[in-house]
Structure 1
Amino acid sequence: MINLIWLLMILIGFAFAAVNGNIEVVTQAAFDGAATGVTVCFGLISVLVFWMGMMKMAEDAGLLARIAKLLGPVVGFLFPDVPKNHPAMGYILSNMSANLLGLGNAATPMGIKAMQQLQELNPDKQTASPAMCTLLALNTASITIIPTTLIAIRLNYHSANATEIVGTTLMATIIATLAAIIADRWYRNRALHKPPRIQKSGNPGMKG
């Protein structure tokens, strides 16, 4: 569906440009955007490789394990329906630890594995479980201590002070995470207290 939406937007843009006689502007913008995208990606590689290496060192030094241990009680509270020693807990903790360091690329595989493990615990395979919804909310609005990717982008565009966003990013992600947790708790409680649906059965026909 998303691909269809993007395709329609592109086609509408080209059609609108053709009608207004600006097709060459759209073509030039497309090539300029592609070139800028490649430049930004190459600029991000060095910074991301550096922080991925730092994360590997932190993992080998036991720092991530300590962070996961500190987050253990919090994760247990947020995911009460997930057994403590279930593999999903380990992936959730790894995902949250990576997000704390702003390493979204490293957090994504852990988040996917956590979702797969949570799906195994899900009694209704066609509907996301409360734990899966909680993980999605936390992963989207995760507290970020070091916004690595944003810093890398700012460095790539020659920012005078690329790290000045650390404080505001931390505050924004804290507020976003609290909002996500509050919304998640509210919807969970609402689902628990929601009366079960009563299926109406048709009245049997009267025999004459």
Structure 2
Amino acid sequence: MLNYIWSGMILIGFIVAAFTGRIEQTTQAAFDSASTAVQMSIGLLGVMCLWTGLMNIAERSGLIKVIARIIQPVTKLLFPQVPAGSPAMGAIVLNMVANMMGLSNAATPLGLKAIKELQKLNRGSDIASNAMCMFVVVNTASIQIIPATIIAVRTSAGSGNPFEIIATVWVASICAVIVGVTAAKILQGKEKDLRSYSRYRRVS
């Protein structure tokens, strides 16, 4: 559907440009924008490779497990139905850490893995569990300590001070998390507690 929407917008733009006699300016703007997009993508690629590599080092060195223990009270409060030692909780923690570092692209595959593991806990039901709904909220409205992706975009765009948005990002993301988690807790339905890890192993 998005392909049709974007194609329609581009077609309408060129039609309007043709009728207004600005087809040359429109064509030049299209080429300039494509060039800028490539340059920004290369800049983002470097930043993403750096932080993704650091995340892999943190995972292999055991730092992620340390972070998981630190934020365990939070994860236990947000996901009481998920066993502490399950693969689902591990993927959730990795996703939360990636989001806190502002690595939205790196957090996506971790989020997909977490949902897959949560679906196993959900016994293949077609209805999303409370844990799945809460995870979607936490993943979408995550607190970003270091908004690496935004900083990279601002740097590529030639910002004089790309780090000046950090305080604003902190306030906005904290408010988003509070509102999202509160709404999820209020609206969530009742389901059986799945804290027993042995039971989870039988289900999976």
CA distance in 2, matches of 1:130, 1:4: 34
Letter in 1 for 2:57: M
Q: In the alignment, which residue of structure 1 is the partner of 2:134?
A: 134
Query: Which protein has the larger Cα radius of gyration, Structure 1 or Structure 2?
Result: 1
The 5 A counterparts of 1:7-26 are: 7-26=7-26
TM-score normalized by the length of structure 1: 0.80
How big is each residue's C-alpha offset from its partner over 1:44-67, in whole Å with a ceiling of 9 and x where there is no partner? 222222223333333344322211
How big is each residue's C-alpha offset from its partner over 1:86-118, in whole Å with a ceiling of 9 and x where there is no partner? 211110011001111112222111101011112
- Alpha-carbon RMSD across the aligned residues, in angstroms, is 2.1
Give the secondary structure class of the aligned counterpart of 1:164: coil
Q: Give the Å deviation of 1:175.
A: 1.0
CA distance in 2, matches of 1:187, 1:37: 41
CA distance in 1, matches of 2:51, 2:121: 33
Q: Give the Å deviation of 1:37.
A: 0.5
More displaced, 162-171 or 50-59? 50-59
Q: Give the Å deviation of 1:149.
A: 1.1
Q: In the alignment, which residue of structure 2 is the partner of 1:6?
A: 6
Q: Give the Å deviation of 1:123.
A: 4.6
Q: Give the Å deviation of 1:173.
A: 0.9
Native 8 Å contact 1:68 1:97 kept in 2: no
CA distance in 1, matches of 2:69, 2:173: 21
Q: In the alignment, which residue of structure 2 is the partner of 1:172?
A: 172
Letter in 1 for 2:55: M
Instruction: Classify 1:59/1:120 alpha carbon distance in 2 versus 1 (closer, same or farther; 3 Å).
Output: closer
Native 8 Å contact 2:48 2:106 kept in 1: no
CA distance in 2, matches of 1:53, 1:18: 48
Q: Give the Å deviation of 1:10.
A: 2.7
Identical aligned residues as a percent: 48
CA distance in 2, matches of 1:21, 1:118: 56
Native 8 Å contact 1:72 1:93 kept in 2: no
Letter in 1 for 2:174: I
CA distance in 1, matches of 2:118, 2:85: 13
CA distance in 2, matches of 1:29, 1:177: 38
Letter in 1 for 2:139: N
Q: In the alignment, which residue of structure 2 is the partner of 1:78?
A: 78
CA distance in 2, matches of 1:28, 1:90: 49
CA distance in 2, matches of 1:127, 1:44: 37
Q: In the alignment, which residue of structure 1 is the partner of 2:147?
A: 147
Structure 1 unmatched ranges of 5 or more: 193-208
Q: In the alignment, which residue of structure 2 is the partner of 1:117?
A: 117
More displaced, 68-77 or 56-65? 56-65
Native 8 Å contact 1:122 1:129 kept in 2: yes
Instruction: Classify 1:100/1:27 alpha carbon distance in 2 versus 1 (closer, same or farther; 3 Å).
Output: same
TM-score normalized by the length of structure 2: 0.81
Structure 2 unmatched ranges of 5 or more: 191-204
Q: In the alignment, which residue of structure 2 is the partner of 1:185?
A: 185
Matched pairs, number: 190
How big is each residue's C-alpha offset from its partner over 1:156-208, in whole Å with a ceiling of 9 and x where there is no partner? 233332222222211211111111101211221xx45xxxxxxxxxxxxxxxx
Q: In the alignment, which residue of structure 2 is the partner of 1:202?
A: none
Instruction: Classify 1:53/1:87 alpha carbon distance in 2 versus 1 (closer, same or farther; 3 Å).
Output: closer
